[in-house]
Amino acid sequence: MHVNGMKIRRFESPRGAARALARHMVHAVADRPDLVLGLPTGRTPVLLYAELVRRYRAGEVDFSRVRTFNLDEFLGIAPSDPRSYRTFMARHLFDHVNLERRRIHFLDGTAADPDDECRRYERAIARAGGIDLMLLGLGANGHIGFNEPAASLVGATHPATLTAATRRANAALFGNDRRQVPARALSMGMATILRARRIVLLATGTSKARMVDRLVTGPITPLLPASFLQLHRCAEVWIDRAAAASLSGRAAP
Ligand code: GLP
């Protein structure tokens, strides 16, 4: 089903969505072995990464030429820090498949000059020829990457200030103490994300239902950064039954 230019795909369960997306990615890599992927962290993609690892172990996919760019990283947290998004990705995906280290790209939260680091990242994405398939999660407040709801959004990769809600949502990585979550991060910007050739936003669970409805059926507003996906030529929203529960209007089940 298409609503506001976005393709909506519904699945019975988070596992069903993860399986379908992994299958889709395996085919995409078979078609284009040097595919450029944009990757998210968070609880949502964990099942997807597990499914990709399973398929890799089954000999169904070769990641050796695939290139990856993660969306974001905490400012002040070193890549090797157990709380970094870089470590999260190693634990859930990178350490278990044959991605080559030099083809894995990450923002470095400890770079001496964060603005320079953001410019370096934009150049690296451009040099790779842009992102072919951008996978996104959805923040409970409607953020994508660390592009938080605000009066205005930033186009390029940039240092971002996190809202209290987002710091709370990320507390699990920091011993469940939201005060330990850095107040700032580096994130791909809205234009960086929207330049990807294809975008798939994955959202599961009841906690995302209201935001999913607003992003699909509501107005495009910086107060809900994910709503900008409506402007993309090739954006898809993959959801499970729980995340689809509040869909209204033309998108209603
Ligand atoms: C973090 C990340 C986002 C992610 C979001 C949702 O804030 N910066 O990229 O999409 O969490 O996380 P979860 O999937 O755990 O709900």
- 1-26 average pLDDT score: 96
pLDDT class of 232 with cuts at 50, 70, 90: very high
Q: Which two tokens stand for residue 187?
A: 């994130």
- pLDDT for 248 equals 86
- For the stretch 137-173, pLDDT in tens is 999 999 999 999 999 999 999 999 999 999 999 999 9
Question: What is the tens place of the pLDDT at every residue in 160-170?
Answer: 999 999 999 99
For residue 18, pLDDT beyond 80: yes
Spatial contact of 167 and 178, defined as CB atoms under 8 Å apart: yes
Range list of H helices, 5-151: 14-31, 46-57, 85-92, 114-127
Known catalytic membership, residue 170: no
Q: What is the mean pLDDT of the chain?
A: 97
pLDDT on residue 253: 73
| Known catalytic residue at 72 | yes
Say what the pLDDT of residue 119 is. 98
Percent of the chain with pLDDT over 90: 96
Give the tens place of pLDDT for each residue, 38-94.
999 999 999 999 999 999 999 999 999 999 999 999 999 999 999 999 999 999 999
Catalytic residue among 51, 72, 108, 132: 72
Catalytic residue among 143, 147, 158, 213: 143
pLDDT score at 30 = 98
Q: Which atom of ligand 1 is nearest to the CA of 203?
A: 14
Look up residue 68 and give its two tokens: 């990856």
- For ligand 1, atom 13, name the residue with the nearest CA: 42
Residue 252's pLDDT is: 83
